[in-house]
Structure formats: C-alpha cells, structure tokens
Amino acid sequence: MDPMNIAGIGVLCSHGRGVARFEQALNESRVPSTAPASCHRIPSEVLEDREVLWDIRRADRFSKIAVLGAYDAMRDGDSRDGSVGIIVCTGLGPHATTFRFLDDILDYGDASVSPTIFSHSIHNAAASYIAKILKCTGPTLTVTQFHFSFQQALLLAGAWMSEGRCEHVLVGCVEECGSVMESIYGYKLKVGTNSGMHLSACGNKSSTGLGEGSVFFLVTSDPARRKYGVFSDVSLDGEPCVEERPDLCIIENDDATVDPGIPIVEFSPIFGHMMTGSGFQCAAAALMLRNQVAYACPSSDVSDGPNVIVETKPMAIREILCIKYDCKRLRSCVKLNK
C-alpha cells in the first residue's frame, strides 16, 4: 500500500466536537461516569451547528454526526477539493432511524409511513449529505463490515489513490447509540458469548458501554500536506505489520498478545465500544505521533500486564500499530508512522 498522509482529522464523540476536545479527553484519560452497558452519548448541543447543518436540518441524528465529523476533517486539512472521494464505514448504520420507521409501520400501517424517515433509514443517507454539504462529486461509498470496516475502508482508500481514481480521500466511520442496540448490547454483555459484537477491550470491559460518534481522516498522497503522520500499512492477516517492532501498540482486545517489551494502550473507555471504534483508536494514534506523547490507558487494570501505559508522558514515537482481532481470531493491523 502506498503511504496515505493524514492531512486532516474531524472527530465527534461524547466529549464533544473537534480534535482539541478529543485530545483533551485523551490527555486527561477522562472516562465519563456512565453506568455499565450504557451509552457514551454525544450531548445534543454538540450537534447544533446552524451554519453547517442548516441545509440538512431535517436530517436524522446519524447523518448529522457523520456530516460534522467529515466537515471538520476537510476544514482541518484546509481542503475544498470537490473531487475528493468519500468512504463512510459503519457497523450498525442508522439503526435508530430504521426502528423509527418500523414504529411507523406498526403504528400506522404499510400505507401510511413517513417517506422522510424511510429515506434517512437507508445506510448511505449520511454519505449523501456529506457529499452535498462539502460539494464533493467524487466517488461516494458507504460500506459495512462488523469487525474490520475501518481497516477495509483504509485499504480501499489506498487502492483508489494508487490507481489515480482520487488524489484525496475522506475516509471515516460513524456509529449512533439507540435504545434497542443498548438493550442488545446489555444482553450480549451479560451472556458474554462469541456474539459477533466486540465487547472486550484492554482494561475494564464491564465498565465500558456503547459509544457513538464519528471520526474522519482526510488522506492524501501528497506528503507536503501531512499534518498527523501517515497510514503506512494495513493488513488483515497480521503478516506485514508484525515484522517490525513498533514503539507502541494500541490493542483493541483483552486477550491479544504482543511482545512484553512494547508499551500497549487502548482508549475505548473514553469514547465507548463501537464496531468501527478502530477509527477512533487510529485518531488517538495520529495525535500521539503528532504530539510525541503517550497517553495513558484509561481505566487500565495493572493486572493487564506491566507494559500497559498507566501515565501520560512525553515519548519519542516513530511508529504505532493498531491491532484488532475479530471473534474468529483473525487479526487486523494498521500501521501509522510519524
């Protein structure tokens, strides 16, 4: 894969909107005081941006979360390029809107449902709004895969740039909390089976609820626009990444094994569990590379091992691996370099 330089990041989570807020949450290892299995919900005022959202004021919450993250990444990257490609990945999509549409069917019957709710329940509504707001006429894709959506999206972004389909790609992930999914999550957490939803994380799995938010990266082949480091490799079998010795690993699973000499960390207690949470982990990695700071593992349990980073401190960081396993023990690995 050709290197993908990170020119801009937009991030939105329960701690607020923007890179600075996310950075502050990482810096303070701030874990919201939520009860187990509850949702790290984005405060409603964070989604009130009349300037950006005016044209899509009737859009659902999922779309607004997506648009703000994408908009911020483009602005952070100082880009107004209308030919940028867009790849939105999501695990669960606008499921809350889907259930609202099912409410309509159950309450009013098949012939009396809302076309507005239906059109927002379609997975790519958010990407459509992103393209409209940012005036992007390049390829626009929404993809889903429950375990490695973000990793697959990065691979595709790299392929698009390699074949000259796009010079720049806005690639990111979006998830939304909803009451039904919270109930499903609670049930799955209780039974703790190989459920298809990733429940475990480095640290205290029982204290981390579902998360919601969006994170977008504006990636480019132009190294002069590199602002946060570079995605230098993505693998879905672990082979290329493990040959080198990173300065730090972000491990999304409790039971992952790495060389005991490599510091490890994981940040999902800050923003919550999401099927596409790898995007947020990579945003944290990009900030660590830019700031040359190792952020402490929030809610870390010392019993996890001596190499867990328990204190935020300056560190010379050249390379970070973000590793995730799926339920079948297939491994993905995203390598970021300074």
Place of tokens 């703000």: 68
Phi, psi angles (nearest 5°) of residue 288: -65, -40
Place of tokens 């701690």: 15
What distance in Å separates the CA atoms of residue 315 and residue 309, rounded to the nearest whole number? 11
Specify the amino acid at residue 97.
Answer: T
Binding mask 97-136 for another protein (x = CB under 8 A): -xx-xxxxxx--xxx-xxx--xxxxxxxx-xxx-xx-xxx
What distance in Å separates the CA atoms of residue 256 and residue 93, rounded to the nearest whole number? 28
Nearest to 326 by CA among 185, 144, 148: 148
- How far apart are CB 114 and another protein at their closest, in Å? 7
What distance in Å separates the CA atoms of residue 231 and residue 337, rounded to the nearest whole number? 7
Nearer to another protein, 45 or 110 (CB): 110
Specify the amino acid at residue 286.
Answer: A
Nearer to another protein, 47 or 113 (CB): 113
Nearest to 262 by CA among 323, 201, 212: 323
- How far apart are CB 92 and another protein at their closest, in Å? 8
- How far apart are CB 166 and another protein at their closest, in Å? 10
The reply to whether 80 sits near another protein by the rule CB under 8 A is no
Buried b (16+ CB within 10 A) or exposed e, 107-139: eeeeeebeeebbebbebbbbbbbbbebbebebb
Nearer to another protein, 35 or 111 (CB): 111
Residues 180-209 binding another protein (CB under 8 A) are 180, 183-184, 187, 195-197
What is the 8-class DSSP label of residue 233? E
The reply to whether 240 sits near another protein by the rule CB under 8 A is no
The reply to whether 138 sits near another protein by the rule CB under 8 A is yes
The reply to whether 24 sits near another protein by the rule CB under 8 A is no
- How far apart are CB 140 and another protein at their closest, in Å? 4
Q: Which one of residues 26, 74, 155, 286 is an interface residue with another protein (CB under 8 A)?
A: 155
The reply to whether 143 sits near another protein by the rule CB under 8 A is yes
Nearer to another protein, 164 or 314 (CB): 164
Q: Which two tokens stand for residue 25?
A: 């949450």
Nearer to another protein, 239 or 259 (CB): 239
What distance in Å separates the CA atoms of residue 258 and residue 262, rounded to the nearest whole number? 7
Footprint of another protein (CB under 8 A):
1, 82, 86, 92-93, 95, 98-99, 101-106, 109-111, 113-115, 118-125, 127-129, 131-132, 134-147, 152, 155-156, 158-160, 162-163, 165, 180, 183-184, 187, 195-197, 236-237
